[in-house]
Amino acid sequence: MSTMEIKRDMASLAAVVDEAARTATAIPQLTERVPDLTVEDGYAIQALSLARRLGRGERRIGVKMGLTSRAKMAQVGVDEVIWGRLTDAMRLEEGGAMSRANYVHPRIEPEIVFLMKKPLSGEVSPLEALAAVEAIAPAMEVIDSRYQNFKFALPDVVADNSSSSGFVLGNWHKPDTAIDNLGIILEADGRAVQVGSTAAILGHPLRSLVAAARLVSRWGERLNPGDIVLAGGATAAHALAPGMHVRAVYQNLGAVSLNVTE
């Protein structure tokens, strides 16, 4: 099969990333097989991969924003945020357990999450975005690149649903709660492993919601009432190991925790 033919065969590439996620198996980067794969191709593969999840009975419940901090953008060498789709199967119970065996090489990062009460899409102002929010909460995202050694180019990570694999939500707060610069400590087994602020999320997490509205509309979609939007990591992500207890403690918002089992 020629490179062009492979590139056209987005469905088979979607099957590759979806199977890697479903079976927790590390795979080579798609851009090794298809060097001219574009970010647009990546989003097409991501959409087809989500369709496979929905076909297995999962329900789409929102989106995640990725690469929303300058540090992460620099790490991947881009200056654009990315997004991925969340399903109900990715949700982990607050204070509950996640099995390390279900992931390739999971990492965790503290985030802010928005719960939508109105539809939102396209170019919106921060005030318009806030008016569409029902509630905000502290959260943690489990990211798990399916690529070997957590290494990828931008089209790869987009195709791989922007590394989304799990999330845990804390208690909901009023939408007008100040979230522009709240201190966060990420603990592993009671020891602080990351310290940061919600300001690391594009300067203000609301900017991430504005970007989410813009990006989903580029793909003919919108944020719907009842959807959640994970705004992006506020610190670097921390690698998870069996037996670990992780907790993110937020100024004014409370804490979110998770236990990692074998």
Q: Which residues contact 216 (CB under 8 A, 6 or more apart)?
A: 63, 83, 121, 222, 223
To 5 degrees, how large is the angle CA 244–CA 248–CA 254?
135
Tokens 């899409």: give the residue.
121
Residue 3 beta carbon to ligand 0L1: minimum distance, rounded to whole angstroms: 25
Is 67 one of the binding residues for ligand 0L1 (CB under 6 A)? yes
Is 144 one of the binding residues for Mg ion (CB under 5 A)? no
Cα gap 189→109, rounded to integer Å? 15
Tokens 């918002």: give the residue.
253
Residue 127 beta carbon to ligand 0L1: minimum distance, rounded to whole angstroms: 25
Q: Which residue is nearest to ligand 0L1 (CB)?
A: 66
Dihedral (Cα; 111, 114, 115, 117), 10-degree rounding: 180
Would you say 208 and 65 are in contact if contact means Cβ atoms under 8 Å apart? yes
Window contacting ligand 0L1 (CB under 6 A); options: 6-14, 137-145, 185-193, 251-259:
137-145
Is 232 one of the binding residues for ligand 0L1 (CB under 6 A)? yes
Give the chain's end-to-end CA distance (angstroms, integer): 40
Is 165 one of the binding residues for ligand 0L1 (CB under 6 A)? no
For ligand 0L1, the binding residues in 2-61 under the rule CB under 6 A are none
Cα gap 111→126, rounded to integer Å? 18
Is 233 one of the binding residues for Mg ion (CB under 5 A)? yes
3-state secondary structure string, 66-99? ECCCHHHHHHHCCCCCEEEEEEHHHEECCCCEEE
* Residue 205 CB-half CA count within 13 A: 30
Residue 64 beta carbon to ligand 0L1: minimum distance, rounded to whole angstroms: 6
Which of ligand 0L1, Mg ion, none has residue 205 at its interface (CB below 5 to 8 Å by kind)? none
How remote is the C-alpha of 61 from its chain's centroid?
A: 13
Residue 149 beta carbon to Mg ion: minimum distance, rounded to whole angstroms: 19
Q: Which of 20, 142, 157, 258 binds ligand 0L1 (CB under 6 A)?
A: 157
Is 227 one of the binding residues for Mg ion (CB under 5 A)? no
Is 66 one of the binding residues for ligand 0L1 (CB under 6 A)? yes
Window contacting Mg ion (CB under 5 A); options: 5-13, 122-130, 139-147, 197-205:
139-147
Cα gap 182→251, rounded to integer Å? 5
Window contacting ligand 0L1 (CB under 6 A); options: 29-37, 64-72, 184-192, 245-253:
64-72
Q: Which of 121, 161, 163, 165 binds ligand 0L1 (CB under 6 A)?
A: 163
Is 141 one of the binding residues for ligand 0L1 (CB under 6 A)? yes
Q: Which residues bind to ligand 0L1, rule: CB under 6 A?
A: 66-67, 72, 141, 143, 145, 157, 162-163, 232-233
Residues forming the site for Mg ion (CB under 5 A)? 141, 233
